[in-house]
Amino acid sequence: MADVARLAGVSKATASRALGNYGAVSETVRERVATAARELDYRPNELARSMNTGRSMSIGVVVGDIENGYFGLAMRGITDTARRAGYDVVLANTSESVEAEIDAVKVLLDKRVDGLIISPASAYETQHLHDARDTGRPIVLLDRRLPGLDVPSVEVDIAPAARAATTALIESGHRRIAFISALTTDGPEFTGLPLGVSSVTDRLEGMLQALGAAGLDVSADLIRFGAVSRETTRQIVRQLFELPDPPTAVLASDSVIALDVLLALRERGLTVPDEVSFVAFDDFSWAELIDPPLTIVSQPVHQVGVTAAEVLLLMLQGGRPATQRHTLVADLVNRGSTGRPRLSARAARPQDAG
Amino acid sequence: MADVARLAGVSKATASRALGNYGAVSETVRERVATAARELDYRPNELARSMNTGRSMSIGVVVGDIENGYFGLAMRGITDTARRAGYDVVLANTSESVEAEIDAVKVLLDKRVDGLIISPASAYETQHLHDARDTGRPIVLLDRRLPGLDVPSVEVDIAPAARAATTALIESGHRRIAFISALTTDGPEFTGLPLGVSSVTDRLEGMLQALGAAGLDVSADLIRFGAVSRETTRQIVRQLFELPDPPTAVLASDSVIALDVLLALRERGLTVPDEVSFVAFDDFSWAELIDPPLTIVSQPVHQVGVTAAEVLLLMLQGGRPATQRHTLVADLVNRGSTGRPRLSARAARPQDAG
DNA sequence: TTGTAAGCGTTATCAA
DNA sequence: TTGATAACGCTTACAA
The answer to whether A80 faces chain B, any CB pair under 8 Å, is yes
Closest-CA distance, A303 to chain B, in angstroms, reads 13
Strand order in the sheet with A223-224: A223-224, A177-180, A249-252, A277-281, A295-298, A331-333
The pLDDT value given to residue A343: 62
- Asked if strand C comes closer than 7 Å to B16 Cβ, the answer is yes
Query: Rounded to whole angstroms, how far apart are CA atoms A74 and A63?
Result: 10
Residue length of chain B:
354
Band of residue A23 on the pLDDT scale cut at 50, 70, 90 = confident
The pLDDT value given to residue B187: 78
CB atoms within 10 A of CB B211: 20
The answer to whether B93 faces chain A, any CB pair under 8 Å, is yes
**Residues of chain A neighbouring B72 (CB-CB closer than 8 A):** 66-69, 71-72
With CA atoms as reference, the chain B residue closest to A256 would be B285
The pLDDT value given to residue B352: 39
Three-class SS state of B262: helix
The answer to whether A127 faces chain B, any CB pair under 8 Å, is no
Q: Which of A50, A72, A263 lies nearest to residue B72, judging by beta carbons?
A: A72
The answer to whether the Cβ–Cβ distance between B112 and A47 falls below 8 Å is: yes
**Residues of chain A neighbouring B46 (CB-CB closer than 8 A):** 107, 110-112
Phi and psi for A185 in degrees, rounded to 5? Answer: -115, 175
User: Which of B1, B51, B67 best probes binding to A when mutated, by most A CB atoms within 10 angstroms?
Assistant: B67
CB atoms within 10 A of CB A52: 8
The answer to whether A218 faces chain B, any CB pair under 8 Å, is no
Q: What is the number of CB-based contacts under 8 A between chain A and chain B?
A: 132
Q: Are strands A331-333 and A295-298 parallel, antiparallel or unpaired?
A: antiparallel
With CA atoms as reference, the chain A residue closest to B64 would be A76
Q: Which of A46, A79, A256 lies nearest to residue B91, judging by beta carbons?
A: A79
- Asked if strand C comes closer than 7 Å to B45 Cβ, the answer is yes
The pLDDT value given to residue B343: 62
CB atoms within 10 A of CB A207: 25
Band of residue A22 on the pLDDT scale cut at 50, 70, 90 = confident
| Residue range A284-337, pLDDT digits in tens | 999 999 999 999 999 999 999 999 999 999 999 999 999 999 999 999 999 999
189-208 in B: which are within 8 Å (CB) of A? none
The pLDDT value given to residue A348: 40
CB atoms within 10 A of CB B170: 18
* Global confidence as pTM: 0.94
**Residues of chain B neighbouring A93 (CB-CB closer than 8 A):** 76, 79-80, 83
Task: Name the nucleotide with the smallest C1'–CA separation from B112.
Answer: D9
The answer to whether B290 faces chain A, any CB pair under 8 Å, is yes
Query: Rounded to whole angstroms, how far apart are CA atoms B24 and B26?
Result: 7
266-285 in A: which are within 8 Å (CB) of B? 266, 285
Residue B269 near residue B195, CB atoms below 8 Å: no
The full DSSP string for B271-327 is -TTTT-EEEEES--GGGGTSSSPPEEEE--HHHHHHHHHHHHHHHHTT---S-SEEE
Give residue numbers, 284 to 343 of B, with CB < 7 Å from strand C.
Answer: none
Domains and CATH numbers, chain A: 2-44 (no CATH), 58-154+301-328 (3.40.50.2300), 157-299+333-348 (3.40.50.2300)
13-52 in A: which are within 8 Å (CB) of B? 43-48, 50-51
| Residue range A219-278, pLDDT digits in tens | 999 999 999 999 999 999 999 999 999 999 999 999 999 999 999 999 999 999 999 999
Cα four-point dihedral sign A196, A198, A200, A205: positive
Q: Please report, in tens digits, the pLDDT of each residue of chain B (354 residues total).
A: 999 999 999 999 999 999 988 888 999 999 999 999 999 999 999 999 999 999 999 999 999 999 999 999 999 999 999 999 999 999 999 999 999 999 999 999 999 999 999 999 999 999 999 999 999 999 999 999 999 999 999 999 999 999 999 999 999 999 999 999 999 998 778 999 999 999 999 999 999 999 999 999 999 999 999 999 999 999 999 999 999 999 999 999 999 999 999 999 999 999 999 999 999 999 899 999 999 999 999 999 999 999 999 999 999 999 999 999 999 999 999 999 999 998 644 444 444 333
Give residue numbers, 18 to 47 of A, with CB < 7 Å from strand C.
Answer: 23-26, 28-29
The answer to whether B127 faces chain A, any CB pair under 8 Å, is no
| Residue range A147-182, pLDDT digits in tens | 999 999 999 999 999 999 999 999 999 999 999 999
Rounded CA–C1' distance between B52 and D7, in angstroms: 8
Residue A344 near residue A269, CB atoms below 8 Å: no
User: Which of A58, A91, A256, A284 best probes binding to B when mutated, by most B CB atoms within 10 angstroms?
Assistant: A91
Rounded CA–C1' distance between B22 and D6, in angstroms: 19
